[in-house]
Each structure stands twice: as C-alpha cells, then as structure tokens.
Amino acid sequence: MHAYRSHTCADLTAAHVGETVRLSGWVHRIRDHGGVLFIDLRDHFGITQVLADSDSPAFADIEKLRAEFCVRIEGTVKARDASLVNTKLKTGEIEVYARSMDILGAADDLPLPVFGEPDYPEETRLSYRFLDLRRDGLHGNMMLRSNVVRSMRQRMWGTGFTEFQTPIITASSPEGARDFLVPSRLHPGKFYALPQAPQQFKQLIMVSGFDKYFQIAPCFRDEDPRADRSPTDFYQLDVEMSFVEQEDVFSAVGPVLQGVFEEFADGKKVDPCGEWPRIPYAESLLKYGTDKPDLRNPIEMQVVSEHFRGSGFAIFAKLLENDGTEIRAIPAPTGGSRKFCDRMNAFAQAQGLPGMGYIFWRAGDDGLEAAGPLAKNIGPERTEAIRQQLNLGEGDAAFFLGGKPAQFEGVAAKARDEIGRELKLLDENRFAFAWIVDFPMYEADAESGKVDFSHNPFSMPQGGMDALSGDPLKVLGYQYDLACNGYELLSGAIRNHKPEIMYRAFEIAGYPNSEVDKRFGGMVKAFKYGAPPHGGCAAGIDRIVMLLAGEQNIRQVIMFPMNQRAEDLLLHAPSDPTNDQLRDLGLRLAPKT
C-alpha cells in the first residue's frame, strides 16, 4: 500500500465496503457523539467521513486532533445505514472505521476557520492565504480558473493558432498605465520594464512570418486597484493574426469565448457569438453612458433636449443655451412611484450630483397624468411628447440628466444600472455580449487641450493616411472591445503596419519621429521589411473567471492577490532592498518624505 494513501477522499463508494484503505488529508470538522468521534477528512478531491469509537485502536489519538491537522488514517470501509446516506457527497454511501492515525502536520490555533466559510477581514484572509485557499469556495474558484485556461488553450490550438512565449523583461512601452521598472545591474542607470502586454512582440511575430499566434500571457501594470482589476499583474489570452480584417478577428475569437462560457456557465444562458451586436462607441455612450454596457438591462437612454429648450424648467433651459450640452432621459418602466423616484434621486446625490430630475405617469381624472417637479415646470404638452418619445405608459417613469455628456455620462451609466437592478429588469441568468467598435483614435485633455491617444497607439486609423489630415478628434480607429454584463472582457485592434502612417499618427499625439524611433525602433525597423496587415486582441482571463464564478471581486479568482494598497501580506512585498542590492545596481534611495 502507498505510504500516504490508497485512495483520495473522493474515491470510496459502496463497492469498496470491507476493504482496508489508507487516506491522507486535513481534519475538516470533528464531531463527538457521546463516545463516537466523527471526522470529515478533506483533501483536494473531496471529503470522506471517518469514525472511531472506544473500541478503535486510534480513538485516543483521534481525541487529540483539532481542525486542520494534516493526518494519515488507515481503516475499514463500512456502508452507512440507508437513513444516514449523504447524497451531497461522492463518498456519502460509506464511512471509514479508523484503526490507526498518524499526524503528518500539526496545526496551530486557526486565525480564520476553514469549515463554514464565514466572512472574515480581507487583511486576515490575505495574510493567511494558504488557509483561505483551503476553503471550498475559493478552492473551487482556483480549479475553475485552471479549467478555463485549459479550455482556452485547447480551443485556440483546435482553431489553428500556435502558442509562443514572449519576453518578461523588456523595454518600456505606452499601454495606458504605469510600467513596473527593473533596474539593470550590467547597465547602471538604465531600466528594463515588465511588459504591460506583449503588444510589440506579438506584432513582430506576425512580421516574422508566423500566421496565428496566441499566448496565456502575464501582464504587469502599476495601476490603482478596483474590484474588477488587479493593481499589479493579470493574465490575458493574447491573440494576433496576419492578413485579417476586423471581422476575421471577431470570427476567430468569438466562438472560442462563447465555447468557454458555455462550458462553465453552470446553466446560465450564453448569447451565441453570431448574435453579438456591433455597437459604435459613440452610440454606446449615448444609449448606455459607457463603452461596456450591460445588455441584460433593456433600458436605453435617449436625448430629449428639444423638449426642455425654452421650457419653464429654468435649470435645463438655461443649460441648453451653452454649446455642447444636452439633456438625456433614462426610461424606468414600472418605476412610476414617488417613493422609487425619491430613492433614485438620493442615489444621484450620493454620486455627487445635486439630484436627478424625474417625471412619472399615473392614472388621472382625464386619462394619464404626469407627476413630479419637472412635469409641473414644463407643462402637459412637453411631458406628453417625452412620454411618447420614450414609449412609456401608466406606472412608468423617466429620469433626466443634463450638461456636457462627458461630465454626466458616468453617473448616467450607474443610474441606468441601478434602475435596472431596482426594477428587476435584468436577466440574471444570462451572459450578454456586445462588440464595441469605432473607437476614437484621439482625445483632448479637458484642461490643456493637448491631443493624445485615447486607446491603443498601434491601431490603424480608419481611412489610413487620408484620415490623419483633418480634425484628429474625428478620426476613428479599427479598435474594438468586447463587453459582457457590464465588464470589458477583451480589447483589440487592426494594427498600423505602415511606417509612414505610424509616424504621422504619433506626430499628432506629440511624438516626433525621433521619439518614435527611440521608443519603438525595433517595430518601425521591422515594418520597413514587408510587414503584413495584421490584427488581434487580448481577453482578460481574471475577469472572465470572475464572471463565471459569480464573484464581485477579482481577488476571489486570483491565487495570491495583492491587497487594495498593492501589498503582498503573505510574503511582505514590496520590501526594502539591502544596501548590497542597491550597491550592485548603482542606486541610491531618495530620503522618504
């Protein structure tokens, strides 16, 4: 018999009754039933119930055990009485009568329980992550993540893609976030960077004559943490293809992601990729207030400025006298009660706004009656015109926000989501996808007016060189995202593979040719030797698993995550360097402020 186990804690069934077996695992729970001890013994695979009575040679030793001791138990498989069968366990038909027990690893008093999974402070959970990972929920999330990665890899190989690995230590590259810099010992005063993405390398792979590349790639970005974003590193399914247009990328990647979601959706509906809508970026902001809309929510915002222009509601009427302003309505089917409207108004105030105007419609003496402060100010003709435009009726409501769209769209998006949740309009058992397309190539800083890239700087502008001769803020790129249930899952583009267009695109953003050569010299040089048209994308694995696991925080699907302050509480990173390390690197630290 094997030194530690003849079976796992998920193997034994009624077919093993009478056999002598050896199991190893952790003491999940101990129950004392008046002289009979029951242990739920747990390993990676499952749980087996072990029992010992006063006649068992192991009874005295088992009495000394505490939760999470790592033990080896040898005993005889017994059938449970029919009334005691546990149908929730694979091993629920049997139990093991213990004849010997050895402690393989004793456990101190636990800083957090493994059994039962009560909520515990994140600082404790991250400081003792190895215990947290023993809990069933988190353990299951890690297995889900592993299986999702396996499925992605198999599907990509099955679609004709080839896996390659790109460098981890590389040069700094603008990807929209801060780099993690690595000082060079051999070249004092110079720094490598951890890659924000394998962007340049995967494009160089295409120039090198390979056709379909993918990689499960680690990426490093020094970012502020959010519930759906790790502050240090993440993994992505990185993809690039030669001789393709935008639709070719969609056709290649869509079925892979649809298949992964269908495989792990746990009964939820997955929209087929052939039905994923293509929504222009500007339309997405207008209708949903965001470029990652949750299409499970049927609410679409509309512009209703003309109904307030010159109206008795002075705040909106005066606001519309300024250039670039508009009024948008958020329809709220079934939301037509003053109590609900006041609650949503309070929600807007919690977001930093003075409030959110509203109208709701109810039955009156002469038919439908519009109520609310806005209705009183603009009169029945305008409120009726708004109702008809929004296709609302009795028991419905509408909320209104105004100003320059960039200033209120973020709150409008949150309000739309909140209204949809409150009114139970969302289909919670669905994964709803949408391709967001036609992103603007450039954006202007609100204060300085300086033009910079708004998305991936290596994208091909729609219209090529001709598009770069006019207003840069009107230039669209062949850039696209994939949104699902309110999250961005994927981002990509058809690449700018022509040096002359690349130089001009960067020049508009304030980068002279010399700076482009300095930063991206390798790629520019490669593009001068027969670069093929190419494009690709990257899908965030952590975020995909978070959605599939039904979690609200990305740290729940990362094995060893950082905390909100980008600290590793288990291994205590970041840490102070030693003087010898600094001396080797030729570095001196500035005094702490």
Low-confidence ranges of the chain (pLDDT < 70): 174-176
Q: How far apart are CA 124 and CA 1, in angstroms?
A: 40
Among 62, 85, 105, which residue terminates a domain? 105
Binding residues for L-aspartate: 175, 221, 455, 495
Specify whether 207 is located in the same domain as 97.
no
Binding residues for ATP: 221-223, 488, 540-543
Q: 539 to each of 103, 221, 222, 225, how far by Cα in Å?
A: 45, 15, 19, 19
pLDDT at 34: 87
Q: Which residues, in sequence order, are CB contacts of 469 under 8 Å at separation 6+?
A: none
Domain count, the chain: 3
Phi, psi of 25, rounded to the nearest 5 degrees: 175, -160
Quick: pLDDT tens for 476-492: 999 999 999 999 999 99
Residue 19 bridge partners (DSSP): none
**276 lies in some domain:** no
pLDDT at 175: 62
Name which of 508, 407, 503, 405 is nearest 450 in CA terms: 508
**195 lies in some domain:** yes
Specify whether 241 is located in the same domain as 343.
no
Specify whether 492 is located in the same domain as 528.
yes
Specify whether 484 is located in the same domain as 533.
yes
Specify whether 145 is located in the same domain as 235.
yes
pLDDT at 109: 96
Among 426, 445, 478, which residue terminates a domain? 426
Q: What CATH number is associated with residue 348?
A: 3.30.1360.30
Specify whether 236 is located in the same domain as 348.
no
Specify whether 92 is located in the same domain as 151.
no
Specify whether 249 is located in the same domain as 160.
yes
Range of the domain at 486: 138-253+454-580
pLDDT at 228: 85
For 495-498, the CB contacts below 8 A with 24+ separation are: 495/203, 495/458, 495/459, 495/460, 495/533, 495/534, 495/535, 495/536, 496/458, 496/459, 496/460, 496/461, 497/203, 497/207, 497/460, 497/527, 497/531, 497/532, 497/533, 497/534, 498/464, 498/465, 498/527, 498/531
pLDDT at 174: 62
Question: pTM (2 decimals)?
Answer: 0.93
Q: How does DSSP classify residue 81? A: P
Quick: pLDDT tens for 189-219: 999 999 999 999 999 999 999 999 999 999 9
**265 lies in some domain:** no
**9 lies in some domain:** no
Do residues 441 and 496 touch, judged by C-beta distance below 8 A? no
Q: Which residues, in sequence order, are CB contacts of 147 under 8 Å at separation 6+?
A: 264
Specify whether 313 is located in the same domain as 354.
yes
Query: Which residue's structure tokens are 């993809």?
Result: 239
Specify whether 153 is located in the same domain as 54.
no
Name which of 549, 278, 318, 296 is nearest 417 in CA terms: 296
**71 lies in some domain:** yes
**503 lies in some domain:** yes
Specify whether 54 is located in the same domain as 93.
yes
pLDDT at 355: 81
Amino acid letter, 525: K
Binding residues: 175, 221-223, 455, 488, 495, 540-543
**488 lies in some domain:** yes
**218 lies in some domain:** yes
Q: What CATH number is associated with residue 229?
A: 3.30.930.10
pLDDT at 141: 98
Specify whether 96 is located in the same domain as 174.
no
pLDDT at 591: 87
- For the chain, helix, strand, coil in percent to 5 are 35, 25, 40
Among 105, 128, 157, which residue terminates a domain? 105
Q: What CATH number is associated with residue 72?
A: 2.40.50.140
In the chain, count H helices and then E strands.
16, 24
